[in-house]
Structure 1
Amino acid sequence: MKDFVFIFRQPSYDYSNSSAEEMAAINKKWNDWIGGIAAQGKFKNHGARLEVAGKVLKPGGVVTDGPFVEIRERLGGFIVVTADSLEEATTLAHGCPALDADGSVEIRPIFA
């Protein structure tokens, strides 16, 4: 078994206008999807949900406000799973709620 990180990229939109019910439904989708991976014994680490604000340091010491300021997506967070292959890890990524919001899941083996 090998460890893989799922990196979630989503459009940069404002959740502050979402109702409590809408946020509960979104959280349930995420919990159900991750729970399905855990039920298979493939869930390794919850990783972290990232805040929207931040800084980007570029070559030459140039600092910009906020990650991905030049594009319309943001890195939302990540989890770590375990799988026998990149193909199996990719199969586990199917059903990720980020995909429902026009986002993507980057699947990367962890170098060991």
Structure 2
Amino acid sequence: MNKEVQPSPDELQKHLQHWQEWFGTLKEQDQLAAPLKRWDREGVIVNTKGTTNGPYVEVKESIGGMLLIKANDYEEAAKIAAGCPILEFGGNVEIRMAAS
């Protein structure tokens, strides 16, 4: 989420509802490749300095989640991603194809 955009509680509730609707649509259209799973808030960071607890590393941008969808190509995946609610707050979606 873009740090410059701070939604009100009502806007945030509406945004969360949009996420639920979007996920529901993906499921109804059989576009989910895997069931939706939430990430835990714990995590572990591994780097050359060792291992530390916590999911946060020092980066300019971070990944807030990952969703596996069914798409035939990047064009179809981009059309699906265009409906992602993260775009409402200036976020972005990175698309990757699974290696075969």
Is TM (by shorter chain) over 0.5?
yes
Greater RCO (CA < 8 Å, at least 6 residues apart): 1
* Structure 1 residue ranges without an equivalent (≥5): 1-9
Rate the CA distance shift 1:18–1:55 in 2: closer, same or farther, 3 A. farther
Q: Secondary structure at the match of 1:78?
A: coil
1:4-23 matches, within 5 Å, as 10-11=1-2, 19=9, 21-23=10-12
TM-score (normalizing by structure 2): 0.70
* Identical-pair percentage: 26
Q: 1:68 and 1:11 mapped to 2: Cα distance?
A: 18
Length-normalised TM-score, structure 1:
0.64
Match of 1:69 in 2: 58
Task: Report the residue type matching 1:98 in the other structure.
Answer: I
Q: Which moved more, 1:52-61 or 1:21-30?
A: 52-61
**Structure 2: tracts of 5 or more residues without a match:** none
Cα 1:80–1:44 shift into 2, 3 Å: same
How many correspondences in the alignment? 99
